[in-house]
Amino acid sequence: MTENRGKNSILPEPPKELYGKIMKRIRKEERFLLMKKRLAAAFLVMLGSGAMLIPAFGAVRTGMAESGFMEFLSLIFSDFKLVLAFWQSFSWALLESFPATSFAGFLAVILVFLGALKYITQNLKTALSTIKYKIA
């Protein structure tokens, strides 16, 4: 059934709240798209920092082996009385041989990894519930 709409025909007026609903849905979709981009970026950061954990740990281990830190530390277990007698000198020797730079790098990689993991776990529930809502 086709209607003949001429110049004098009046089209039904859309409800007044329709514009607000459309704009609200557009903003919701924009926020969802932004959340997806941020989650993807956080996932890539987590993968990258996770891959960097292995070389960073290797640098710490190599630094400890080169500086003799582990040998000084093992004195605590092998000759504790000597360590107690010269505890000030022993403490300075430990501090001087500690590979602080590589250890700081290792901690930085762990911090980035855990920060990305925290962001993903906080926002993944929201993203999944939005996807579930869109499918239904």
* 112 contact partners, CB below 8 Å, separation of at least 6: 45, 49
Contact 53, 102 (CB under 8 A): no
* Pair of tokens at residue 68: 């003799």
The phi and psi torsions of 53 (rounded to 5 degrees) equal -60, -40
pLDDT band at 129 (very low <50, low <70, confident <90, very high): confident
The whole-number pLDDT of residue 5 equals: 52
Is the pTM above the cut of 0.95?
Answer: no
Domain ranges of the chain: 39-135
Model confidence pLDDT, tens digit, residues 96-119: 999 999 999 999 999 999 999 999
